[in-house]
Structure 1
Amino acid sequence: MSARIYQNQKNALQSGKALTHIWVLEYAPAEAKQADPLTGWAGSGDTQQQLRLNFPSQEAAIAYAQKQGVAYTVIATPPKTLKLQAYADNFR
């Protein structure tokens, strides 16, 4: 069982930064999803895949994973780049 630890990103369509400080631990899928023959919906017997744990800091998420004996991968948050552009640049 393995997990990934990452920080929430701001959606491109949102201007606010709410919940971007939270660190998330998600378990990797242990088995592939299969289509149900009756309904056609995709599902699996892996219940760990449904868990999404929130932590106030990266250290807290790592401490939890180590305490539970879960192999983890920390995904670094990419740096935010701001493209400053004037309205007049649209007409060049």
Structure 2
Amino acid sequence: MTARIYRPAKTAMQSGKAKCQDWVLEFEPEKPRAIDPMMGYTSSADMNSQIHLRFETRDAAVAYAVRNGLAFRVIEPKESKRRRVAYADNFRYDRRQPWTH
């Protein structure tokens, strides 16, 4: 039973950074999910896959895992690079690409 500690990335539907600042501890699945042959539902007998714990800091999540004797791995977040883009850049005279409609 290995736990993952990570900071979730912003989803495509978000414009802000809500729910992206906390660190999450969740367990990796022990068994693959099974498909019910009659209804086609996906099910799992792994109850630990339902546990998602949120922590304010990485150190708090690591301390929780150590305190409870959990094997864990920390996945460091990748910081996004933000380019400063202005609307006026569309109309510059020294554009690198020609203007097309």
Q: TM-score, normalised by structure 1?
A: 0.86
Question: Deviations along 1:16-58, whole A, 9 cap, x unmatched?
Answer: 2222211000100011111112211111210001111111111
Q: 1:90 to 1:25 in 2, by over 3 A?
A: farther
Match for 1:2: what amino acid? T
**Superposition deviation, residue 62 in structure 1:** 0.5
Gaps of 5+ in 1: none
**Superposition deviation, residue 77 in structure 1:** 0.8
Give aligned pairs, total.
92
Aligned CA RMSD, in angstroms, stands at 1.9
Map of 1:73 onto structure 2 = 73
Gaps of 5+ in 2: none
Counterpart check, 1:57 vs 2:85:
no
Greater Cα shift, 30-39 or 10-19: 10-19
Map of 1:47 onto structure 2 = 47
After superposition, residues 22-33 of structure 1 pair within 5 angstroms as: 22-33=22-33
Task: Quote the Cα distance in structure 2 between the aligned partners of 1:38 and 1:90.
Answer: 58
Match for 2:4: what amino acid? R
Local SS of the residue matching 1:53? strand
Q: TM-score, normalised by structure 2?
A: 0.79
Percent identity of the aligned residues?
39
Over alpha carbons, which structure has the higher Rg? 2
Q: 1:37 to 1:84 in 2, by over 3 A?
A: same
Q: 1:38 to 1:79 in 2, by over 3 A?
A: same
Task: Quote the Cα distance in structure 1 between the aligned partners of 2:79 and 2:52.
Answer: 24
Match for 1:26: what amino acid? E
